[in-house]
Amino acid sequence: MTPERRQPVECEFMPDDYFSRLDPTCLFENDQPLEIDLGCGDGSFLIAMAKQFPDRNFLGVERLLGRVKKVCRKAHNEGLSNCKVLRLESKYVIEWLFPENSIDRLHLLCPDPWPKARHHKNRLVQQGFLQALYKALKPGGEFCFKTDHPEYFEWVAEQMQKFKKFEQLDWPEDAFFYPKTDFQIQWEAEGKVVERARFRKPE
Ligand SMILES: C[S@@+](CC[C@H](N)C(=O)[O-])C[C@H]1O[C@@H](n2cnc3c(N)ncnc32)[C@H](O)[C@@H]1O
């Protein structure tokens, strides 16, 4: 017997088919630029961005159902038509769901750093992920990364150097609207430094 499919909550995006590439215009039924927040957590960044930029679309990706429902509730209560959440695994979304040249900006903010050497293989930023991201970003598309974990920051710099195809952009403090995430606020309150790096797929 096929198990019954859970019905999506308001502002939740559930693909009809998880095994085919998405038509990104089905997501929001318009062709505004698309930004994705991988591992959006409680969604404070996603919601603030969607409120600030009504002429862009925002998709949060999160694997925990409780968090997905919470962010969807916030987006619905705010009346945001440019914000949705997808409950799925981040790497799968970039590698298998989004077609080539479909994403304008990807945010990866305070992801799990997997500090133990034997767990480094679980880090999201690896050559395979970068290859998939490079394909999925539009020419000129950006990848914004933040972490409180200095060794993961170094790791990403090394992965980027090895991959070669992205160019690094300056990212001075307050260069543009970019709210702090819940985790950044929490880490900074504990005295930790959150580092950031910004990359671009050349035109
Ligand atoms: C450390 S929290 C950071 C949340 C948010 N970006 C912030 O900065 O406040 C990492 C989030 O990513 C989610 N996450 C971790 N691994 C994931 C994966 N493979 N796919 C989707 N979400 C994931 C976790 O459930 C969690 O909500």
Give the domain CATH number at 43. Answer: 3.40.50.150
**159 phi, psi to nearest 5 deg:** -60, -40
> Could you tell me if residue 9 is inside a domain?
no
- What is the token pair recorded at 195? 């580092």
> Could you tell me if residue 109 is inside a domain?
yes
Amino acid identity of 188? E
Element (H, E) at 159: helix 150-163
> Could you tell me if residue 21 is inside a domain?
no
> Could you tell me if residue 14 is inside a domain?
no
Q: How many domains does the chain have?
A: 1
Q: Does ligand 1 have an atom closer than 6 angstroms to the CB of 63?
A: yes
**What is the rounded distance in angstroms from the CA atom of residue 29 to the CA atom of residue 26?**
5
Proportion of the chain in helix, strand, coil states, percent, rounded to 5: 35, 20, 40
Known catalytic residue at 182: no
pLDDT digits (tens, 9 = 90+) for 173-185: 989 999 999 999 9
CA of 109: how far to CAs of 9, 21, 58, 61, 146, in Å? 25, 25, 15, 12, 5
Contacts of 135 (CB under 8 A, 6+ apart): 100, 101
> Could you tell me if residue 16 is inside a domain?
no
Report the candidate in 12, 74, 13 with the shortest Cα–Cα distance to residue 46. 74
Specify the pLDDT at position 4. Answer: 82
Report the pLDDT averaged over residues 28-50. 96
Containing domain of residue 104, as a range?
A: 28-200
Query: Rounded to the nearest whole angstrom, what is the distance from the C-alpha of residue 116 to the centroid of ligand 1?
Result: 18
Q: Which ligand 1 atom is at minimum distance from the Cα of 112?
A: 1
**45 phi, psi to nearest 5 deg:** -65, -50
Query: Rounded to the nearest whole angstrom, what is the distance from the C-alpha of residue 104 to the centroid of ligand 1?
Result: 20
Q: Is 74 annotated as belonging to a binding site?
A: no
Higher confidence at residue 26 or residue 126? 126
**What is the rounded distance in angstroms from the CA atom of residue 104 to the CA atom of residue 136?**
9
pLDDT digits (tens, 9 = 90+) for 52-84: 999 999 999 999 999 999 999 999 999 999 999
Specify the pLDDT at position 70. Answer: 98
Percent of the chain with pLDDT over 70: 99
Q: Is 148 annotated as belonging to a binding site?
A: yes
> Could you tell me if residue 13 is inside a domain?
no
pLDDT digits (tens, 9 = 90+) for 138-177: 999 999 999 999 999 999 999 999 999 999 999 999 899 9
pLDDT for 5 beyond 70: yes
> Could you tell me if residue 98 is inside a domain?
yes
Q: pLDDT band for position 1 (50/70/90)? A: low
Which residue bears the tokens 């998405």?
22
Query: Rounded to the nearest whole angstrom, what is the distance from the C-alpha of residue 24 to the centroid of ligand 1?
Result: 22
